Amino acid sequence: MRGLLAYIDGREQEMLAFLEQIVNMDSGTLDKAGIDRLGSFLAERLETLGFAVERARQTQYGDHVIGRKAGSGSRSILFVGHIDTVFSSGTAAVRPFRIDGGRAYGPGVLDMKGGVATLIFALDALKATGHPSYEQVGMTVIFNTDEEVGSPSSRELIEAEARKAQTACVFEPARPGGEYVIARKGVGRYRVEVKGRAAHAGVQPEQGRSAVLELAHKIIALHALNDFSRGTTVNVGVIRGGDRSNVVAAEASGDIDVRVRTLAEAQRLEASFQEIAGSCALPDTTTTITGRLGRGPMEQTPQARRLFEKVQEIGRGLKLELKGIATGGGSDGNLTAQHTPTVDGMGPQGSEAHSDREFIEVATLVERVKVTALILASWPETIAQIG
Ligand SMILES: [Zn+2]
Ligand 1 centroid to Cα of residue 332, in Å, is 9
Q: 191 and 267, same structural domain? A: yes
311-359 pLDDT, tens per residue? 999 999 999 999 999 998 889 999 999 999 999 999 999 999 999 999 9
Task: Tell me the C-alpha distance between 80 and 171, whole Å.
Answer: 6
Find the distance separating the first CA and the last CA of the chain, reported in whole Å.
Answer: 24
Here the CATH number for the domain that contains residue 171 is 3.40.630.10
Q: 199 and 152, same structural domain? A: no
Q: Among 306, 314, 330, 331, which Cα is nearest to 368's?
A: 314
Task: Tell me the C-alpha distance between 67 and 81, whole Å.
Answer: 12
Domain tally for the chain?
A: 2
Q: 375 and 243, same structural domain? A: no
Of 238, 267, 295, which marks where a domain is finished?
295
pLDDT band for position 386 (50/70/90)? confident
pLDDT at residue 328, as a whole number: 86
53 pLDDT higher than 90: yes
How far CA 61 is from CA of 65, 91, 112, 296, 354, in Å, comes to 12, 19, 17, 23, 19
Cis bond leading into 298, ω under 30°? no
Q: 316 and 287, same structural domain? A: no
Strands 103-105 and 286-295: unpaired
pTM of the model: 0.87
Helix (H) or strand (E) holding 35: helix 32-48
208-260 pLDDT, tens per residue? 999 999 999 999 999 999 999 999 999 999 999 999 999 999 999 999 999 99
Q: 128 and 66, same structural domain? A: yes
Q: 176 and 69, same structural domain? A: yes
Ligand 1 centroid to Cα of residue 83, in Å, is 8
279-313 pLDDT, tens per residue? 999 999 999 999 998 889 999 999 999 999 999 99
β-bridge mates for residue 180, sequence order? 324
Of 260, 295, 330, which marks where a domain is finished?
295
Ligand 1 centroid to Cα of residue 3, in Å, is 32
How far CA 288 is from CA of 208, 254, 291, 319, in Å, comes to 19, 11, 10, 55
Ligand 1 centroid to Cα of residue 279, in Å, is 40
Q: 19 and 150, same structural domain? A: yes
Q: 55 and 7, same structural domain? A: yes
Of 269, 295, 321, which marks where a domain is finished?
295
1 pLDDT higher than 70: no
Ligand 1 centroid to Cα of residue 190, in Å, is 23
Higher pLDDT, 74 or 93: 93
* Amino acid sitting at position 55: R
Ligand 1 centroid to Cα of residue 349, in Å, is 13
194-221 pLDDT, tens per residue? 999 999 999 999 999 999 999 999 999 9
Ligand 1 centroid to Cα of residue 201, in Å, is 50
User: What's the whole-number mean pLDDT along residues 122-147?
Assistant: 97
Mean model confidence pLDDT for the chain: 96
11-48 pLDDT, tens per residue? 999 999 999 999 999 999 999 999 999 999 999 999 99
β-bridge mates for residue 184, sequence order? 298, 327
Q: Cα angle vertex 367, ends 381, 18, to 5°? A: 110
Ligand 1 centroid to Cα of residue 175, in Å, is 11
Ligand 1 centroid to Cα of residue 287, in Å, is 36
Ligand 1 centroid to Cα of residue 147, in Å, is 7
Q: 160 and 257, same structural domain? A: no
Here the CATH number for the domain that contains residue 263 is 3.30.70.360
Q: 263 and 327, same structural domain? A: no
pLDDT at residue 385, as a whole number: 87
Beta strands in the chain (DSSP E): 52-56, 64-69, 76-82, 98-100, 103-105, 138-144, 167-170, 180-184, 186-195, 199-200, 233-241, 247-248, 251-260, 286-295, 324-327, 342-343, 350-351, 359-361
pLDDT at residue 111, as a whole number: 97
Long-range contacts of 200-203 (CB under 8 A, 24+ apart): 200/246, 200/247, 200/248, 201/245, 201/246, 201/247, 201/248, 202/246
Ligand 1 centroid to Cα of residue 210, in Å, is 43
pLDDT at residue 329, as a whole number: 84
Q: 199 and 96, same structural domain? A: no
Q: 190 and 326, same structural domain? A: no
pLDDT at residue 6, as a whole number: 97
pLDDT at residue 176, as a whole number: 87
**Domain assignment of residue 248, given as a range:** 186-295
